[in-house]
Amino acid sequence: MGLFDLFKSKPAVKEIGNLNCVNIGGKFDTGHKVDNKALFKFLKDHIKKNTLKKEFSSKIKEKIISDTVNELKVGSAGIFFVPSNFINHKDYEKIMGFKIVDKTLIILNIQNDQDWWSKKLNYDEEVRSVSMQIVELDDSEYNLLKPFEKKITQGKNKKFIDNYIELYQVIFDGLFKTDKRKKYPINSFVSLVGFKE
C-alpha cells in the first residue's frame, strides 16, 4: 500500500491517547543502539514499585480535530498535526508529525509498536516508542522546506493532508537524499517511551 492509497478511504476515527513519557536518550538509547535489557529492567522495577510516575519527563496530549487529523501537543516542543490514518495501521510502523521552527526541522515519530511492548512489560495501558529527530537546516535546506513552514501547522485546513504528503516527499525524497544528509541525517534526537493514561 502506497502513501497516497492510505488517504483514499475515509477511516474510522483513530487515536493514540495521551501519553506520559520517560526519556531514555543517553541512558538507554545512544542513537546507535538501545540497551533493551537494562531498559526493560528499569521500567519493570518502576512499574512493580508503582514509582513510574516519578520518571515521567514529558507528556503528549492528543486532540482529535477531524476524522483525518489529530493534534498532538508534545511537551515543550509544541503542537504537531498528524494524519490519523497512520495510527495502528498494519502497513505503517509509525505516525509522523513535522514542524519547522527557527530554521530547524523537528520530526516526531510515534511507533505503532504497542503489541511489541505488551510482550515486554506488564502494564495496564498501551506503551509506545516515541522519538523526535532534530535537523538544523542550512540556508538551502531551509529554502527547500520554507513553503511548508506555515502549512504544516494548519491541521484544520482542508488541504492539510495534501500539504503533509508533499512535505513528506520533499523531506524523504529531497532533503535526506542530499550528500550532506546521507552522511549526517540529523543533528540530535530525543528518545522516549510513552505510557498511555
Mind listing the pLDDT tens digit of every residue in the chain (197 residues)? 555 555 555 556 689 999 999 999 988 998 888 999 999 999 999 999 999 999 999 999 999 999 999 999 999 999 999 999 999 988 899 999 999 999 999 999 999 999 999 999 999 999 999 999 999 999 999 999 999 999 999 999 999 999 999 999 999 999 999 999 999 999 999 999 999 99
Is 123 exposed, middle or buried, given 0-12, 13-18 or 19+ CB atoms closer than 10 A? middle
Q: Is 130 exposed, middle or buried (0-12, 13-18, 19+ CB in 10 A)?
A: buried
Residue range(s) defining the domain that contains residue 149? 5-196
| Contact indicator for 31, 186 with CB cutoff of 8 Å | no
Beta bridge partners of 81: 71
Indicate the number of domains in the chain.
1
Residue 149 to residue 155: CA distance in whole angstroms: 12
DSSP assigned state of 97:
E
